[in-house]
Structure 1
Amino acid sequence: EVKAIHYHPENTICDCCQCQMTEIGTTIVREEAEFIPARMEKVQHIEHAYECKNCKADLSQKAQIKRGKSPQPPIQRSIAGPSVLAKVIYDKFVQYLPLYRQVKEWERYGLNTNDKNLSNWVIRASHDWLLPIYERMKNIMLEKSILHVDETYGQIINRSDGKSGQSNAYNWVYRSVPCQGPTIVLFQSSLSRARSVLEGFIEDYSGTIVCDGYSAYDKIEGITFANCWAHVRRYWLKADSKNGRIGVKYCDELFRLEREFKHLSPSKRRKKRQKHSKPLVDEFLAWVENSPFYGKNALAKAAEYTLNRANGLKAFLDDGRIEIDNNPAENAIRPNVIGRKNWLFSVSEAGAKANAICLSIAETAKANGVDFYQYLVKLLRDLPNLDIHRNPEIINNYLPWSKTIQAECVK
């Protein structure tokens, strides 16, 4: 929208002959942005009732009454409408603005609240309306044959396992690959980094998991683990020596080849890897195995790390869909790391779970080109008025890549 401000001379009488002057042109001197602050409106939903006076006068039949029906709110008996809830969630998980800092901003708009209220709103909205989307995306994700997985620490103050609130909790991230349909990014909050957390999430999944060298990523039935070459490179980079630089050079050459193969189809990429990358990997592993790297120095650690994961490091050679590194998962988990610096901690496990659900919806929406705020408003406005529990297939129309959402919520 363009607003024009016009400036005319104070008087348009000629100083010379005193005649009325005629306008001969205009010049746009500058354009500037003007910020118009948001404002809060109280919306009353009023149901009107009607009755038929004619039927009422006839005592032989029942009086006819009709009532207008208002839509269901996302949270019963709460002042928070869909747009307010969406704004709270958007500001926390996209703008990284913690709830306690949102309180004063809401007061400026005219809504008096507190951070406990905001927290309860996020938890309720997440559990009731975002969780069904999350669970459907999880079911779809676990049907895919390749996943990227990573984890990072967090903090939960009130823990059910009896440990101190200062103990590390963890957020796991799972990301699908673009060559297997729409990208899905899911977060999971947990109290530990144990393998049982991964097993509990993936259940009876079978396929390939691309991951770093953490020991939880190993020996799970039905799963092939593909290890990350970026982690290998970091170990050799830490071994700041002549041999360390040789190790880094091997890794760099593999990454250079991957950049060449990036835009190829999976089948063509596999053929190129077999021809060019496989001999390089075999040469590198043979060099490490035959070199006398002993002790506890950085060089020995790099060699041990590499040889212990030799099979996982070779996995990408036999499948063109597998990436050479776990960067997709590491990039996906970055919003959680940035948010952690702002949110500091979760008070409860319910709050941590709500964070994971919201981050999942936010990052999957972003990966599919969907405006997260608009998407939230639509979910929180529509889903409370649809029988998604009796007709769960309705959820398919509200996934970020669905025709409905792509038509209405794309940036």
Structure 2
Amino acid sequence: MAGLQQQVAAQQTALQQRNLYIQLLEEKLRLQRIQQFAARSEKSADQAHLFDEVELEAEIEALRDQLPDDAEEQDAPRPSRQRRQRGFSDTLVRERIELTLSEEEKVGATKTFFAKVKEELQFIPAQLKVLEYWQEKAVFPLEGNDHLLAAERPVHPLGKCTASTSLLAYVITSKYADGLPLYRLEGMFKRLGHAVSRTQMANWIIRLNDVFTPLITLMREVQNSSAYLQADETRLQVLKEDGKTAQSDKWMWVTRGGPPDQPSVLFAYDPSRGGSVPVRLLDDFAGILQADGYAGYGQVCRANGITRIGCWDHARRKFVEASKAAKVNAKGKNATPAKAEVGLSHINKLYAIERQIKDLSEAERYRIRQELSLPRLEAFKAWLEANVTRVMKGSLTRQAMEYTLNQWDFLIGYCARGDLHISNVLAENAIRPFAVGRRAWLFADTSRGAHASATCYSLIETAKANGLEPAAYIHHVLERIATADTLEALETLLPWNVNLAPVEKK
């Protein structure tokens, strides 16, 4: 009997472990199905609301009233409410079309006048044009021989090249800003009257990488001289990489930041995700670095004395996934109160504060974070520590809670200053065009192509961060970089030093 009881107890233990394992697999399966078929929004209709944003707004207004009159920073100007645009932009070229009456219709009229009755937006299709350069040459007799003098030729950034700077700018912008793969551009050019092969276009882009490198290096120096950077990384497939299989993951790194009036977004390709990559990219940076929980940033933080802060978006996303994958009953409601929902409510309190103070000055944001955010963070941490062991080990909710606790010292770092952000969203937004484009062109053929892509994305995203139209900025740089043989000339090509004239109006 004792042996049978031991056997039954062992079987019951095995069944309990198997049931727990099945629950974990079912949870992961639900999450996979949601990720594949459901909407990707992180909003939850069933989310528990544990606070009132109206009351929170009143708290913030009360704190603003307590700000001393002699504060160093004045109130940031409140943005005007965005109104729906009526009509077309004043920067567009306009052509006047007059609808006239016939002479017979105007007989007997005391006067005539024109009234604008409508506006239409016209599209002018692209076209290819061949530029023929005819160089004038003069012959001078000199000591019995003829001396030849030729007019100066314009310097091309690629030397001998059949593509004009405008065509190069169009190819770069189309692929890296609009996400058009080269094979589609090849078909578009063919329809316009001349076939330009994708191999030829790829070769132009790779050659331009060497041309742009000094400008990118200068941008990197300016960015690393700032006090606050954000970093992120994403996968990239490169088919021909030494020592790596075509299917293995390689990485595109991005850093965003720089002085307030000189923002830059810089991409860098590396086949490794090791800590040596941030060490190389952030060689002389010694400010605050915001990134996700990846341990690879730890090496450069220790070496350079960098203060690291975390990203609440990553923590929140784990709770969102746990909430979506929670088991539901036949009525569509959670079978048991979901701790993931409670955790989300705590995090949403922090985001609600940030929404209310986003337009305030740095001094006010810092003050309100100290008064409102820190107490809510302490309450959230206490809740996590009290409940983490009550959740099934290995579940998505347990993983979310453990991740938040492990990253806690980094996650609360945004409260240390008013200019810091609660999340790494700016870096993620900067890397999103790359992720969208990657769906179209899928992979890079060689590491040289991957490096060239990083350079082009850096120029385009930095131009956008400085309020410049990417195509116009790329063309501006291509027109002048071949003759920028000094540091001063190169600095004039930095986006924050470029003043592109608006489109001429007729």
State the TM-score bracket (shorter-chain normalisation): 0.7 to 0.9
* Amino acid of the structure 2 residue aligned with 1:131: T
1:246 CA drift (Å): 1.8
1:214-253 pair list within 5 angstroms: 214-220=294-300, 221=302, 222-240=305-323, 241-253=337-349
Determine if contact 1:211/1:227 at 8 Å carries over to the other structure: yes
Determine if contact 2:157/2:478 at 8 Å carries over to the other structure: yes
> In the alignment, what sits opposite 2:495?
400
CA gap 1:346/1:269 in 2 versus in 1, 3 angstroms: same
Tell me whether 1:382 sits opposite 2:496 in the alignment: no
* Amino acid of the structure 1 residue aligned with 2:440: N
* Amino acid of the structure 1 residue aligned with 2:482: P
Determine if contact 1:375/1:409 at 8 Å carries over to the other structure: no
Percent identity at matched positions? Answer: 31
* Amino acid of the structure 2 residue aligned with 1:79: T
> In the alignment, what sits opposite 2:207?
124
SS of the aligned residue for 2:180 comes to coil
Scaled by the length of structure 1, the TM-score of the pair is 0.87
* Amino acid of the structure 2 residue aligned with 1:112: A
Determine if contact 2:276/2:299 at 8 Å carries over to the other structure: no
1:195-214 pair list within 5 angstroms: 195-214=275-294
CA gap 1:233/1:31 in 2 versus in 1, 3 angstroms: closer
- Pairing partner for 1:269 from 365, 379, 401: 365
> In the alignment, what sits opposite 2:178?
95
Scaled by the length of structure 2, the TM-score of the pair is 0.71
- Counting matched residue pairs gives 391
* Amino acid of the structure 2 residue aligned with 1:140: V
Cα distance in 1, alignment partners of residues 406 and 163 from structure 2: 54
1:173 CA drift (Å): 1.1
Cα distance in 2, alignment partners of residues 370 and 219 from structure 1: 35
Query: Could you list the runs of 5+ residues in structure 1 that have no partner in the other structure?
Result: 14-19
Determine if contact 2:254/2:268 at 8 Å carries over to the other structure: yes
Give the root-mean-square deviation of aligned CA atoms.
Answer: 2.6
> In the alignment, what sits opposite 1:287?
383
> In the alignment, what sits opposite 1:133?
215
Determine if contact 2:460/2:474 at 8 Å carries over to the other structure: no
CA gap 1:409/1:340 in 2 versus in 1, 3 angstroms: farther
- Pairing partner for 1:369 from 467, 470, 477: 467
Determine if contact 1:369/1:410 at 8 Å carries over to the other structure: no
Cα distance in 1, alignment partners of residues 475 and 185 from structure 2: 18
Determine if contact 1:74/1:81 at 8 Å carries over to the other structure: no
Tell me whether 1:41 sits opposite 2:129 in the alignment: yes
- Pairing partner for 1:4 from 97, 108, 125: 97
Determine if contact 2:261/2:496 at 8 Å carries over to the other structure: no
Could you give the per-residue CA deviations for residues 339-386 of structure 1, whole angstroms, max 9, x where no partner exists? 001111111111111111111110110111111111111211111123
CA gap 1:239/1:344 in 2 versus in 1, 3 angstroms: closer
1:334 CA drift (Å): 0.5
Determine if contact 1:46/1:70 at 8 Å carries over to the other structure: no
Determine if contact 2:287/2:307 at 8 Å carries over to the other structure: yes
CA gap 1:42/1:239 in 2 versus in 1, 3 angstroms: closer
CA gap 1:293/1:380 in 2 versus in 1, 3 angstroms: same
> In the alignment, what sits opposite 2:193?
110
Determine if contact 1:370/1:410 at 8 Å carries over to the other structure: no
- Pairing partner for 1:260 from 335, 356, 365: 356
* Amino acid of the structure 2 residue aligned with 1:278: L
CA gap 1:264/1:12 in 2 versus in 1, 3 angstroms: closer
